[in-house]
Amino acid sequence: MFCYWGEKMGIFEKITKSIGLSKEINLEEYMNAVEMENVDVLHEAADFYVKPISLESESDVSVIQEELKAKNIILLNISPMSKQPNKLRQTVDNIKMFVTKINGDIARIDNDKLLLTPSKVKIIKSRKR
């Protein structure tokens, strides 16, 4: 259902009045304040990250290798290179060799995504029965 912004504000105003908030709220100011409050949470430093990377060319392999060396987990989107199946196969083979060399792991999530893990992080690929 299509809804104009003005209609949303009408609904927002009705809800705030029904819960006892009669003071007008500048939604834009509120959203900016909320974003600023959560900056530290969103950008809190971590030891390792899960990073999405798109495989667009063979030069992306070096980026993938550096991320795995830094102990980050990669969610690799291979769809940008899917129109070049031979190049994709060769590039994924190179990535597999590197992952094996560093004692990491690799698994296909779906037709377009691979999960790559750094050394000593293994992926459970089958369910226990």
Query: What's the average model confidence in pLDDT over 59-73?
Result: 96
Predicted TM-score (pTM) of the model is: 0.64
Q: Tokens standing for 113?
A: 């995504």
Query: What's the average model confidence in pLDDT over 107-122?
Result: 95
Query: What's the average model confidence in pLDDT over 82-87?
Result: 94
Would you say residue 74 has pLDDT above 80? yes
Fold of 50-117: Translation Initiation Factor IF3 (3.30.110)
Q: Tokens standing for 78?
A: 């291979």
Tell me, what's the pLDDT at 13? Answer: 58
Residue type for position 53: I
Contact 76, 114 (CB under 8 A): yes
Tell me, what's the pLDDT at 125? Answer: 86
pLDDT, tens digit (0-9, with 9 covering 90-100), for 85-102? 999 999 999 999 999 999
Q: Tokens standing for 80?
A: 């940008």
Query: What's the average model confidence in pLDDT over 68-78?
Result: 97
How many other CB atoms sit within 10 Å of the CB of residue 102? 15
pLDDT, tens digit (0-9, with 9 covering 90-100), for 7-58? 444 555 555 555 555 555 555 555 555 455 544 445 678 889 999 999 999 9
Instruction: Parse the chain into domains and list their residue ranges.
Output: 5-42, 50-117
DSSP for 61-90, please give it: HHHHHHHHHTT-EEEEE-GGGTTSHHHHHH
Distances from the Cα of 69 to the Cα of 23, 59, 81, 119, angstroms: 53, 16, 23, 8
